[in-house]
Amino acid sequence: SQKIEQNSEALNIQEGKTATLTCNYTNYSPAYLQWYRQDPGRGPVFLLLIRENEKEKRKERLKVTFDTTLKQSLFHITASQPADSATYLCALNTGNQFYFGTGTSLTVIP
Amino acid sequence: NAGVTQTPKFQVLKTGQSMTLQCAQDMNHEYMSWYRQDPGMGLRLIHYSVGAGITDQGEVPNGYNVSRSTTEDFPLRLLSAAPSQTSVYFCASSYSVVRTYNEQFFGPGTRLTVL
């Protein structure tokens, strides 16, 4: 079955720094990979999608890279703010099914 | 648009009881799905549907049933609740799995405890 690993359970960084989160997967080559944000007690919210033929995607302070050879996606938040504190999930699909990583909890310290 | 709605928000059951978690979306999405989220396990797919009348099993379907009689509604039934089904349940929808740009919209979740 598909296995998705996110780099660490928790990441603490200083405000203004760049946060980098890692998503590694095995056993399949997805057509695209998604990143979501989840706040405590709430459902995940979609942030970005990157396709297999795209190396990089940007949206405001967010940047996602996708290396299908390494089977890895990196998620960057530049100029981080305390409001960016949340859990970030990566997800990929195989056919009609989606698989999610366990998430990385990010805390941005003022 | 209300988006994806789920009821109830909280539920406590006794072992062996049955219940239905409700999910509805008003975005005319083809694809709907149910996940459970447990600490350290991430979101795991229970069942999904690619359209009215079509459902299929996900990664962890045992103990759950679904039906999709309309595009809008996708209820999840627990047949005989067990403590292992204590979890937070999320319903999600998207236009279509095969669309290139295919974000999933999640409901607020149902926190279920089985005693």
pLDDT digits (tens, 9 = 90+) for A15-56: 999 999 999 998 777 878 999 999 999 999 999 999 888 989
- What CA–CA distance (Å, rounded) separates B28 from A58? 28
Shortest CA gap B84–chain A (Å): 19
**Which residues partner with B111 through β-bridges?**
B10, B88
Please measure the distance between the N-terminal and C-terminal CA atoms of chain A and give it in whole angstroms. Answer: 40
Question: Would you state the structure tokens that stand for residue B101, as one six-digit string?
Answer: 């740009």
- What CA–CA distance (Å, rounded) separates A108 from A39? 14
- Confidence class for position B1, pLDDT limits 50, 70, 90: confident
B107 contacts in chain A (CB < 8 Å): 43
Number of H helices, E strands in chain B: 0, 11
Please state the rounded mean pLDDT for residues B21-42: 94
Segment B89-104, tens digit of pLDDT: 999 999 876 665 578 9
Count of other CB atoms within 10 angstroms of residue B69: 10
pLDDT value at position A96?
84
Compute φ and ψ for B9, nearest 5 degrees. -80, -35
pLDDT of B45 > 90? The answer is yes
pLDDT value at position B40?
81
Average pLDDT value for chain A: 92
Instruction: Among A34, A42, A51, select the one facing B108 at the smallest CB separation.
Output: A42
pLDDT value at position B98?
66
pLDDT value at position A30?
81
Shortest CA gap B73–chain A (Å): 18
Question: Would you state the structure tokens that stand for residue A106, as one six-digit string?
Answer: 């990010």
